[in-house]
Amino acid sequence: MGALGHFIEREGIATTQISLIREQTAAMKPPRALWVPFMLGRPFGAPDEPDFQRKVLRDLLMLLERPAGPVLEDFPEEAPAGTTSDADAAFACPVSFAKAVVDDGNPALALQREIAQLAPWYDLARKRRGRSTVGISGMRIEDAAAHAASYLDATPAAPPSGFTAGVALKRVCDDLKAYYYEAVAAQPGNLKAKDIERWFWHETTAARVFLAIQQVCLKSADKSLLPLGKISLVPRAVQHSLTEAGRKT
């Protein structure tokens, strides 16, 4: 969309766009963009929240008042937690995983095992669509998983040359999430986005690794990791849902 924005602007039409991956938008330098701290696939936040969605849209359209760019602004709010019915919706994943565990002494191995279980479905998804959103980190998915899991050790993996630790970690986590989402979407049942999201955050080892990494980022002296700990890695709506689920167990 960033490249398309430049083309349209050359024809004299002002453009603006929503960004879900800030680092990618900053590299593209579109004329005007609003970064939102929402999960992938939800550019206007939670479903069935029209007032909040209108607020996002107003902030987005206000960028059109800027005569020139590039402009990249951050939306200041998290998405609402969603309705109780969303949080309580039952969902059965067609693939049977062993219970997600990250405290078995080797979270990296548990994550690699889960990725291998999903590989046939991911390959099918990529074949059907002819493309994939996985790849922003520039790493093989197994290497991206190893990089992410290294943050649970005393010595995290060094970021690739030219990237801060925060940017590199955000990109590998985005790749992992996209890999899981695309793989499970290829399975039978015509799954809805909210069901896939709930499955990822409540049932997978990857999500538990993300939650552990979040705490590492919050305590890190590296300032580039702090945004991941606050909002970028685990959306507040997800944290709320996990907290509510924990209270019921």
pLDDT in 10s for each residue of the chain, 249 residues: 666 777 788 888 889 999 887 777 887 888 899 988 876 678 898 788 899 999 999 999 999 998 777 899 999 888 776 544 444 444 445 555 545 545 556 888 999 999 999 999 999 999 988 999 999 999 999 999 999 999 998 789 999 999 999 999 999 999 999 999 999 988 876 677 878 888 899 889 999 999 999 999 999 999 999 988 887 788 777 766 666 665 555
User: 21: part of which helix (H) or strand (E)?
Assistant: none
- Both 48 and 115 in one domain: the answer is no
- Both 57 and 175 in one domain: the answer is no
What amino acid occupies position 126? R
Judge contact between 221 and 119, C-beta under 8 A. no
pTM: 0.62
Measured distance CA(216)–CA(172) in Å, rounded: 16
Q: Supply the range of the domain harboring residue 107.
A: 85-248
User: 107: part of which helix (H) or strand (E)?
Assistant: helix 107-129
- Both 175 and 222 in one domain: the answer is yes
- Both 37 and 94 in one domain: the answer is no
Q: Total domain count for the chain? A: 2
**Distances from the Cα of 119 to the Cα of 42, 48, 184, 228, angstroms:** 25, 33, 10, 27
- Both 129 and 217 in one domain: the answer is yes
- Both 66 and 152 in one domain: the answer is no
- Both 105 and 193 in one domain: the answer is yes
Q: Could you tell me where the beta strands, DSSP code E, fall in 5-162? A: 17-19, 32-35, 71-74
- Of 22, 47, 80, the position where a domain reaches its end is 80
